[in-house]
A and B are shown apart, each in its own frame.
Chain A
Amino acid sequence: MIEFADVSVEKNGVPILKDITVRLSERRIGVIGRNGSGKSTFARLFNGIEAPSAGTVTLNGVTERKALRRHVGFVFQNPDNQIVYPIVSEDLAFGLKNLKLPRDETQARIDEVLARFDLAHLRDRFTHQLSGGEKQMVALAGVLVMRPTMIVLDEPTTLLDLWNKRKFMAAIDALDEPVVVVSHDLDLLGHFDRVLHIEDGSIAGDGRPGPVLARYVAGSQC
């Protein structure tokens, strides 16, 4: 379970998130909101990329930022900004090297994650030559290979075509780990357990997807 207690974030004196208090224990959680509402900042608090100006973020008793990022994997909108090494297998090994895992275990984990997502044929490919869908899958694999407790994805399907979006979301749905997805694509979140609507730095809606998404859509009518 992850808990936000009176969390606020301020940047250059501008409040981005205001007194967020929420407990999240569901397996599939969606986060929606307008551009600039603070939802990406909210997502970045999960694994300590962002630090709260006030309040605490606690995952299963862990509050320290460095520990949080070991437990929470983060997938960015643009995989080009997430993939660090030029060859797929090297990139998958990057996070594991940072965890100081032995070479044998690193290779075993890479083999396992590549097989899990049917990506073994990409092992020795140059990352910049992959399609957008393949890159996003490699970015996800690079996170999962570190075996996080929880995974947060920030608009992961924005740059994908319909086919790759479906394939990617099928992979997400199949994950055992708890997942938080920030998205403008409301169709993705319809079957989730819970949806948070962030508006102007606060939680404006929280509950089952049906009513939260319906209110959000109604509020967007011009």
Chain B
Amino acid sequence: MLTDLYVFGDSPLHRTRPVVKITALVVFCSTLFIVEGWASVLVAGALVVTGFAVAGLKPRHAFVSVRPALWILAAIFAVQAYLTDVVFAGFVVARFVVLILAAALVTLTTRTSEFVDGILSALTYAPAWVPKEQIALAISLCLRFIPLVRAVLEDVRQAQSARGLDRNLTALLVPLVVRTLKTADEVSQAVYSRSFD
């Protein structure tokens, strides 16, 4: 849920500039892929756990961050175990879990508006034709509208279920897409009306 995208706090991690956190995340993830072996995963894991503790985050936050990826992680584990061996499959999955938790550590300690400011800072030297403000706004809107689209999906699912169409994908997707596009249209008007250029 969106409530798990940011946890209020005043830790050093909360106070760190978003652009620093994003850069550190990129370096951290790249290093984790470059340096092979269990040792790198264990060190990285220890760093992430320390980060969670410093930020005052609870194990629940870590679990909620990883939960949506559990099915994919299970599939990766199964494929790797089949193609190589169980130990290597465990290594690959452990590395992904550390990556997800590191990314979660950044999002959980960074407000959306700070995140957007960080993206804008990172794009400071991008060519003039890059629509910086629009990219930043698009990212913030994606985060904002996750629960909204989920609510629309639930609405449509219930409505179609009442008509006996709960297993009909078309009956679910068509109204969902139409309502989402209609919402997007009004949102763009709202953004425009609040002096966004």
The residues of A with any CB-CB pair to B shorter than 8 Å are 44, 47, 49, 66, 69-70, 73-74, 76, 78, 80-87, 90, 93-95, 98-99, 124, 126-129, 142-143, 146
- The CB with the most chain A CB atoms within 10 A, among B3, B8, B140, B193, is that of B193
B152 CB to closest chain A CB, in angstroms? 10
Once the chains bind, are B186 and A76 in contact (CB under 8 Å)?
yes
Smallest CB-CB A-B distances: 4 pairs: A95-B194, A98-B195, A81-B186, A90-B113
Residues of chain B within 8 A (CB-CB) of A74 are 190, 193
Closest to A95 in B: B194
Name which of A49, A99, A124, A143 has the most chain B CB atoms within 10 A of its CB: A49
Question: Nearest chain-B residue to A145 (Cβ)?
Answer: B194
User: Which of B21-29, B141-149, B165-173 lies at the binding interface?
Assistant: B141-149
Give the residues from 64 to 112 in chain B that come closer than 8 angstroms, CB to CB, to chain A.
Answer: 111-112
Complex contacts, A81 vs chain B, CB 8 Å = 183, 186-187, 190
On whether the beta carbons of B186 and A78 are closer than 8 Å, the reply is yes
User: Contacts A84-B141, A86-B143, A128-B148: A69 and B192 contacting too (C-beta < 8 A)?
Assistant: yes
Once A80-B148, A84-B191, A86-B143 are accepted as A-B contacts, the answer to whether A126 and B2 lie under 8 Å apart by CB is: yes
Q: Which residue of B lies closest to A127 (CB)?
A: B144
A90-B148 contact, Cβ under 8 Å, with A82-B190, A98-B196, A124-B8: no
Which one, A126, A129, A146, contacts B194 given CB within 8 A? A146
**Sample (19) of A-B pairs whose CB atoms are under 8 Å apart:** A44-B189, A69-B192, A69-B193, A76-B189, A78-B186, A81-B183, A81-B190, A83-B144, A84-B140, A85-B144, A86-B2, A86-B5, A86-B143, A87-B112, A90-B113, A95-B195, A98-B195, A127-B144, A142-B194
Please name the residue on chain B nearest to A70 by beta carbon.
B195
Q: Are A146 and B195 in contact (CB under 8 A)?
A: yes
In the bound assembly, the distance between CA atoms of A113 and B195 in angstroms comes to 18
* Cα(A73)–Cα(B137), bound, Å: 20
Closest to B194 in A: A95
* Chain B nearest CB, measured from A143 CB (Å): 8
Cβ of B15 to closest chain A Cβ, rounded Å = 16
* B147 x A128 contact (CB < 8 A): yes
CA distance A124 to B183 in the complex (A): 25
Complex interface: chain B residues within 8 A of A76 (CB): 186, 189-190
Give Cα distance in the complex from A127 to B145, angstroms: 11
Most chain B beta carbons < 10 A, residue from A81, A126, A127: A81
Given contacts A90-B111, A93-B113, A124-B8, contact A47 B186 (CB under 8 A): no
Query: Please, which residues of chain A bring their CB within 8 A of the CB of B144?
Result: 83-86, 127-128
Return A50 CB to nearest CB of chain B, in Å.
Answer: 9
Known: A81-B183, A99-B195, A126-B2. A87 touches B111 (CB 8 A): yes
The answer for the CA separation of A85 and B187 in the assembled complex, in Å, is 12
Q: Once bound together, how far apart are the Cα atoms of A95 and B197, in whole Å?
A: 11
Considering the chains assembled together, what is the distance between the CA atoms of A81 and B192 in angstroms?
12
